[in-house]
A and B are shown apart, each in its own frame.
Chain A
Amino acid sequence: MNYHRRKVLKVGLVSLIGISLLNTKTFSFFKKDDIALKTIGKNSYLVDGWVISKNDLNKREFS
C-alpha cells in the first residue's frame, strides 16, 4: 500500500468512526434517557432552551 492509499484509508476510517459517533449522538439527543429533558408544558419538553413537543420525541426515537 503506498503512502497515499494508506492516508485515504486512514482518513476514511477516522471519518466513518466520527460519523457513526455523531449519528449515535444525534439520535440519542432525542432519547429521553440520554439528555436532560425538562417537562415544561402539558405536552412539551425543554431542551437547551428549545421547546419540543411529545410528538417530536415519538417521531425521532430510533431504537
Chain B
Amino acid sequence: MIIDFNNDSHKNTNEYDYCISGAGAAGIALALRLAESGKRVALFEGGDREYSQVSQDIYKGKVTEQNPYWLDLYRLRFLGGTTNHWAGRCRPFVEYDFEEKQINDLPGWPISFEEMNRFLPQAKSILELEEIDTFKIVENTHIESEYFEPDVSASSSIRFRDRFSEELERHSNVDLYLNANLVDIQLEEDLSTIKHFVIQNYNQKKQSFTAPHYIIAMGAIENARILLNCDSQISSGIGNQTNMVGKCFMEHLNIRLGEFVSNKASWGESQSMQFMTTPKLAKEMNTGLSNITFGTVRQIKAYGRTAEIKALFNKLSCQLGVSEHLQFLYEHDCIGEGVISTLCEQFPFKDSKLALIDEKDSFGLRRVELDWHLSQNDIDSIRNMSIAIAEEFAENNLGRVKLSSFITDSSQKIEISGHAHQMGTTRMSASEEFGVVDVNCKVHQTNNLYIAGSSVFSTGGAVNPTMPLLQLTYRLAEHLTSIS
C-alpha cells in the first residue's frame, strides 16, 4: 500500500517487522525481498512520487575548495531516488577488489569475492539483466597488453519508481509512506538498541515508528548525515564512537587524462574504445583499477537531451571545416580525434570526508560539508596509469596520446570530477576502528540498526555502484530473515 504521510493518518505504528528509510534502489529492493518472506515492512520515502524543490533542497550542502562537487545535482530526492536519472551501466566487482590489502592504513573488504558474487544473480534479476551471462566487451575495442584489457559492461533500463510503484501499491506486506522523512533515531537506555524512527512530513507532523529491526537506505551522503545528526543521546552521533562516520568518502574519479589522435587503420568506424586496467598493473605500479575511455568527437556526449545540438556542431565541425570556431565545445576538430576520460578507483582515505556544518535544512537537521580529497596513493595511481595507457596505445598503434599537463607535471594539481557515485562514508570493516558497519551491514555499536547502499563499500573498485550495492542489499535481506 502507498500512503501519503502529508495527508493520510497512518496505521498502527508498531505493527512492522522492519522499518526502512529511503525508497531508492536499495530501499525498494530490500522492502520487496523482506515482504516476500512474509514480514511486515514500513518503507519511508522523504520525497513524493514526483520531483519537488522542497524535498530536493534538503540535499544541499557545502563543498570545500579542495575539489568541486555538486551535492544536490548528483542525487535525486523522491520515490525511486537517484535511479530516476541514472545511466543504467552495470559492471561487476572482480576478484582482485576483495584481495587482502591495506591502503592508506585502512583494510579492504572483510568479506570474500565469492560471498559478494553469491548475490549477483539476484541483483541482475531486479535490473532485468538475467539473460546476460557475460558482460559484453565494448564494441571493437582491442588491445594486446598485460596491463589493460577491453572493458565489459551491461546496461539496465530499470527506473525503480516506474518499475516498482505498482508492486509496492498492491503488496499487502509493504506500507510505503511518501513525504515521510526520517529526522531522528532514538535509542533505548542501553544506547545500543534502536527504540524508534522519528518520521516527519512537510506539515510539521512527526510520528515514531517501532520495529525489531531498522535499516537506513538513503544514499551514501544521507546515511552518514543522519547518523551524525542523531546526537541527542550520544554526542558524537550514532555509530560514531570511533569517529568513522562520514570518513573515507570515495568517488569514481573522472579525469581528463588528455587527448589523442587515432590510427584509422586500427579504429575503422569505431567511435570509442574502453579499457580496464588489469590487477597486474595495479600490483606492479601501485594503481587502483580503472576504466579508461577513448572517445572520438562523434561519441563524446552525443547522447541524451543535447544529442541534437551536439550532432549539429559535429556536422559543422567536421564537414564544414569550421572547427576552430567551435573550440569551446570540442578541443579537437574532427572524427578520429578525441579525449580520454576515466572511471578510476579512489582509495579510501580518512581525510576525504563529510562533516556537519551549522547551517540547517527545513527539518532542523544540520547540513554537511564535503571535503573531497585525494591521497598521495591516488595521485601516484593516476599518473602511473596514465603513462602506462599512453605507452600501450602507441605500442598497439591505436594512435598517439597527448597527456594533460597536470599528469606530466607533478607540481600541478590533478583536476578531477566525479561520476555521481558516492561511496564509503559508513564503510564495512570487521573492526569498528576502521569502519561503521560490520560484515552483516549492522552498525557496529548498535544491536538492530543496518545500512544498505554504497556507503558501506570498503573500497570502490572501478565498478558502477548500483548493481554491487544491490548484491549487498540482498545479502542483508538474507541475514535479516535468518535472524528473525
Real binding pair: yes
Binding site for B on A (CB under 8 A): 40-44, 46, 48-53, 55-56
Q: Which residue of A lies closest to B261 (CB)?
A: A50
Q: Which residue of A lies closest to B387 (CB)?
A: A41
Query: Among B258, B393, B405, B408, which residue has its beta carbon within 8 angstroms of that of A40?
Result: B408
Query: Given the interface contacts A40-B408, A46-B408, does A51 sit within 8 Å of B395 by beta carbon?
Result: no
Does the CB pair A51–B405 fall under 8 Å?
no
Does the CB pair B405–A42 fall under 8 Å?
no
Fill in one digit per residue for B387-402: 1 if any A CB lies within 8 Å of its CB, else 0.
Answer: 1101101110000111
Does the CB pair A44–B394 fall under 8 Å?
yes
21 chain-A/chain-B pairs, Cβ below 8 angstroms: A40-B387, A40-B390, A40-B408, A41-B387, A41-B390, A41-B391, A43-B391, A44-B387, A44-B390, A46-B408, A48-B402, A49-B258, A49-B402, A49-B405, A51-B387, A51-B394, A51-B400, A51-B402, A52-B400, A53-B391, A53-B394
Binding site for A on B (CB under 8 A): 258, 387-388, 390-391, 393-395, 400-403, 405, 408
A40 to B90, CA, bound (A): 34
In the bound complex, residues from chain B placing their C-beta under 8 Å from that of A52 are: 394, 400
Distance between B115 CB and nearest chain A CB, rounded to angstroms: 37
In the bound complex, residues from chain A placing their C-beta under 8 Å from that of B403 are: 46, 49, 51
Does the CB pair A56–B387 fall under 8 Å?
no
Q: Which residue of B lies closest to A40 (CB)?
A: B387
How many A-B residue pairs lie within 8 Å, measured between CB atoms? 44
Query: Among A48, A50, A55, which residue has its beta carbon within 8 angstroms of that of B395?
Result: A55
Chain B interface mostly: helix
Distance between B263 CB and nearest chain A CB, rounded to angstroms: 12
Distance between B407 CB and nearest chain A CB, rounded to angstroms: 9
Does the CB pair B394–A49 fall under 8 Å?
no
Does the CB pair A41–B388 fall under 8 Å?
yes
Q: Which residue of B lies closest to A41 (CB)?
A: B391
A33 to B165, CA, bound (A): 69
| Given A41-B390, A49-B258, A53-B391, 10 additional A-B pairs, CB 8 A | A40-B387, A42-B391, A43-B391, A50-B402, A51-B390, A51-B394, A51-B400, A51-B401, A51-B403, A56-B400
In the bound complex, residues from chain A placing their C-beta under 8 Å from that of B387 are: 40-41, 44, 51
In the bound complex, residues from chain A placing their C-beta under 8 Å from that of B390 are: 40-41, 44, 51
Does the CB pair B408–A50 fall under 8 Å?
no
In the bound complex, residues from chain B placing their C-beta under 8 Å from that of A48 are: 402
Query: Among B388, B391, B393, B408, which residue has its beta carbon within 8 angstroms of that of A49?
Result: B408
Q: Residue among B258, B391, B405, B408 with the most chain A CB within 10 A?
A: B391
Distance between B132 CB and nearest chain A CB, rounded to angstroms: 36
A52 to B403, CA, bound (A): 11
In the bound complex, residues from chain A placing their C-beta under 8 Å from that of B405 are: 49
In the bound complex, residues from chain A placing their C-beta under 8 Å from that of B408 are: 40, 46, 49
Q: Which residue of B lies closest to A51 (CB)?
A: B390
Distance between A17 CB and nearest chain B CB, rounded to angstroms: 30
Q: Which residue of B lies closest to A49 (CB)?
A: B402
A46 to B143, CA, bound (A): 21
Distance between B36 CB and nearest chain A CB, rounded to angstroms: 53
In the bound complex, residues from chain B placing their C-beta under 8 Å from that of A46 are: 403, 408
A46 to B393, CA, bound (A): 14
In the bound complex, residues from chain B placing their C-beta under 8 Å from that of A50 are: 400-402
A43 to B258, CA, bound (A): 19
A53 to B145, CA, bound (A): 14
